[in-house]
Structure 1
Amino acid sequence: MSYELDNRLVVGVSSSALFNLTESDAYFQEHKEEKYRIYQKERIDDVLEPGVAFPFIQRLLSLNDLRSKDDPVVEVIVLSKNDPSTGLRVLRSIKSHNLNISRAVFTQGEAPFRYIEALEMSLFLSANRGDVDAATRLKYPAGHVLPSTAVYDSSDQTLRVAFDFDGVLGDDEAERVYQDTGSLEEYHAHETENQDRALIPGPLKNLLLDLNMIQKLETQKL
């Protein structure tokens, strides 16, 4: 029986966002692919440290206690430019950190955002700005995770998500009017003229709907 991805929140995350791959990436840039394979093979049992997206992914996965184990409400899929052989260290690190992630796609250098639509992802997180920019130009729901010095309390599993609206939950047509004309008057006139017309959904609309679905499950559990 095939595994269905509907009726659940599907999030993609790059291996460089989930784990700290700064050292590995630097080695690859200096020594290229063949030596990089050897480098990763020699360190296959060295557990990777959490990356900037790790706390968010960990808290997302904690929501899976809302449903049975065979029907998780959240599905996280790792998208990596590595090939399967060099990606083994990532998979072992996932297991060592007790992350309930069982699916990974290793693209062997191809842009990972190409899999967003096929895997029905409501969000793709990456530490690679180029990949995120390429994805958002195609209106895919992608976000760039930035380095952070924040200290996270591992005992606090509360998940808080804030959204911008223009260009995120809704289309940014009003913002484009202002950018094109530089006129607040034109902007207000456009908004007044179109006040009864719903905006075209933005790229993260489905993420908001999925989170709302999860909130309803939480309410039912109370």
Structure 2
Amino acid sequence: MGYDLNKKLVIAISSRALFNLEDENKIFEEKGIDEYYKYQIENEDLLPKKGTGFRLVKNLLRINDDFPNDKQVEVIIMSRNNSATSLRITKSIEKYKLDIQRSAWSGGSDISKYLIPFKVDLFLSANEQDVQDAINEGIAAARILPYDELDDENSNQVKIAFDGDAVLFSEESEIIYKTQGLEAFLKYEKQNALNAMKNGPFAQLLKLISNIQEKYPQEQTPIRTALITARNSPAHERVIRTLSQWNVRLDEAFFLGGVDKYEVVRAFGADIFFDDQDVHLESTSKVTPSAKVPYKKESILNNI
């Protein structure tokens, strides 16, 4: 039998999300693809700096140390680079001692069409169109934002923070808030407090994370999760009941009611924070690795 990716938490990440390749990307944008390829080949042995997604990947892969015969996490490089320029990336992975054995190199073409064949549960990329295409296909995906303050601290716990509406949960309530206002939103949530919210793009990812958490005593879990949302009372009730019906655990939950998120995100110490709104990400991306979750193509929120 072939290697079964269905039984793993599969994270696909682009080379520019794993490593800081912004200077190289500037060459591509200003001088074209030939100069970009030339630079990558000529600097094959030049070790790039760690990118926004590096710490998340490193800490997730550490979970596999507890399951030497049954990996829980699989990380796959999925890049628009071609096979010739891939050598710099694969050599860098070896130098950083990351257990990443699988990769896909599309030579400039759309990489998102390979996510389903690779059974990807989460796709992280700096390419906005690739991320949008993945979301449109129903795959949890987010655009990594630049972050320069990565440290070399090792951690025995992965910390992942999520926004609620349009990330963990569907955009249904957020549409009401944005089109009809706060009063209509609160009225709707109160009327539907006992009705679970529909899945958002990251709901299945949270459930898969919860499956890994269940393999450990709660105080020893290698993954700690947090919900950091602008909701407050009484709109928090529906969130709590929804998570209960999903049978998933969130280790921490913060209902901020409009308070700025970035200080809470920083205090939590997230390896990554997922949100759908630029107004929050502009501040959080300065203090912690952050990524933007886009709306589906047909979403009404795209036109608000």
- TM-score under structure 1 normalisation? 0.88
103-112 vs 27-36, which moves further:
27-36
Runs of 5+ consecutive residues of structure 2 not aligned to the other structure: 221-304
- Check the 8 A contact 2:52/2:150 in 1, yes or no: no
Q: Which has the higher contact order (CA 8 A, sep 6+)?
A: 1
Shift of 1:220: 9.1
53-62 vs 157-166, which moves further:
157-166
Residues 148/37 of structure 1: CA separation in 2 closer, same or farther (3 Å cut):
closer
For 1:13 and 1:170, the matched residues in 2 are separated by 23
For 1:153 and 1:43, the matched residues in 2 are separated by 24
Q: Percent identity?
A: 35
Match of 1:98 in 2: 97
Match of 1:36 in 2: 36
User: Which of 203, 206, 209 does residue 204 from structure 2 map onto?
Assistant: 206
Shift of 1:208: 1.0
Higher strand share goes to which structure?
2
Runs of 4+ in 1 over 4 A off after TM superposition: none
Secondary structure at 1:59's aligned position in 2?
helix
Secondary structure at 1:160's aligned position in 2?
strand
- Check the 8 A contact 1:66/1:218 in 2, yes or no: no
State the superposition RMSD in angstroms: 2.2
Secondary structure at 1:147's aligned position in 2?
coil
For 2:15 and 2:130, the matched residues in 1 are separated by 13
- Check the 8 A contact 2:168/2:199 in 1, yes or no: yes
Residues 16/208 of structure 1: CA separation in 2 closer, same or farther (3 Å cut):
same
- Check the 8 A contact 1:127/1:146 in 2, yes or no: yes
Matched, 1:188 2:207: no
For 2:150 and 2:18, the matched residues in 1 are separated by 16
For 2:30 and 2:171, the matched residues in 1 are separated by 41
Residues 116/71 of structure 1: CA separation in 2 closer, same or farther (3 Å cut):
same
- TM-score under structure 2 normalisation? 0.66
Shift of 1:179: 1.7
User: Which of 217, 221, 226 does residue 219 from structure 1 map onto?
Assistant: 217
- Check the 8 A contact 1:12/1:125 in 2, yes or no: yes
What is the number of equivalent residue pairs in this alignment? 220
